[in-house]
Amino acid sequence: MTIAYTPPSASLNVEGVYPPQHDSMMLIETLEWTGLAAGRRVLDLCTGSGVVAIAAAAMGAASVTAFDICPHAVRCSRGNAFDAGVHVDVREGSWTGASDHGPFDLIVSNPPYVPTPSGGGDVMSIPRSAGPAWAWNAGLDGRTVLDPLCASAASLLADGGSLLMVHSALAGVGRSVHLLRSSGFDADVVASQRIPFGPVLSARADWLERTGQIERGCRTEELVVIRADKP
C-alpha cells in the first residue's frame, strides 16, 4: 500500500550538493508506488541533499540510514531531514562503511553515473547550480561507482531485501542488470523516462558524440530505475 507523498524539493537546502532532478524524483516515485519503504530498514547511498532518504522516512520506514562521501552533503542532508521533521541517521562514507550498520531491508541509490572525459576538463563550463562534480562524474563509461555498488548490494541486504537504483542508460543498463543477477538478485528495469539533456550532459554532448556514446544531434537521455530483489 502506498501513500501520497510530495517531496519537499522547494524547501530543501541544496547549496553545494546535487539538487533533486528528474532522476531523484523518478526514484522517489518508484519508491512510492512499490510501497517498499514502509516498515523497513532503509539505506540510502550517495544521499546528497537527503531528498530520497527523507522520502523513505516519510513513507513509514522503520529506520533510515544515509551515507555520502562528502562532509558537506552529510551536514546538508542532516539539516534537511531535521527541517522535514523526520529522523535520518546520516553518516559520512561509502557503502563499505554501511556494512557495519546492516543488514538492511531496502537500498535506494542515485549514484554518480555521468560518463566523464579524462581529467573532467569541461567542469568549468557546467553551471554551479548542477551541483559539485563529485556528485555526477563517474569515469569514461559512467560506471566508477555503479560497478562496486552493484557488487556490494547483496552483502548489505538481508534475505528478501530489495535495491532500487536510478541511472542513465548512457552508463549501461544491461551491465547493471547483469551484475546484479550474477550476485543472485532477481533484477530488471521497472521504470524509465526519456528527458532532455541537463546542464552536465549538454556540456559534454560534443565529447559524447566524438566517442560514439550518443548519435550525432542526440540531446535526450533515458533514465531508468532498476529493482533488484534478493531471495
Number of domains in the chain: 1
Cell of 155: 552483502
In a domain, 1, yes or no: no
Residue linked to cell 559512467:
142
Number of C-alpha atoms within 13 angstroms, CB side, residue 93?
12
DSSP string, 204-227: HHHHHHHTTSS-TT--EEEEEEEE
In a domain, 164, yes or no: yes
Question: What is the per-residue pLDDT for 94?
Answer: 87
Residue 71 is part of a domain; what is its CATH number? 3.40.50.150
In angstroms, rounded to a whole number, what is the distance separating the alpha carbons of residues 74 and 93?
9
Cβ atoms < 10 Å from Cβ of 136: 24
In angstroms, rounded to a whole number, what is the distance separating the alpha carbons of residues 78 and 88?
7
Cell of 96: 563499505
In a domain, 40, yes or no: yes
In a domain, 5, yes or no: no
Question: What is the per-residue pLDDT for 106?
Answer: 98
Cell of 153: 548490494
In a domain, 107, yes or no: yes
DSSP string, 120-151: GTTGGGS-GGG--GGGTB--TTS-TTHHHHHH
pLDDT values of the chain reduced to their tens digit, one per residue, 231 residues:
334 566 665 578 988 899 999 999 999 999 999 999 999 999 999 999 999 999 999 999 999 999 999 999 999 999 999 999 999 999 999 888 898 898 999 999 999 999 999 876 666 688 888 888 889 899 999 999 999 999 999 999 999 999 999 999 999 999 999 999 999 999 999 999 999 999 999 999 999 999 999 999 999 999 999 999 999
In a domain, 32, yes or no: yes
Range of the domain at 88: 15-196+223-229
Residue linked to cell 555521468:
114
In angstroms, rounded to a whole number, what is the distance separating the alpha carbons of residues 66 and 210?
37
> Apex CA 73: angle with CA 108 and CA 22, to 5°?
50
In a domain, 206, yes or no: no
Q: Look at residues 135, 141, 148 and name the one whose alpha carbon lies nearest to residue 115.
A: 141
| Phi and psi angles of residue 216, each rounded to the nearest 5 degrees, phi first | -60, 130
In angstroms, rounded to a whole number, what is the distance separating the alpha carbons of residues 17 and 131?
5
In a domain, 203, yes or no: no
Question: What is the per-residue pLDDT for 1?
Answer: 34
Question: What is the per-residue pLDDT for 131?
Answer: 85
For helices 71-84 and 51-58, what crossing angle results, to 10°?
Answer: 30
For residue 136, which amino acid is it?
Answer: W
Q: Are 193 and 161 in contact (CB under 8 A)?
A: no
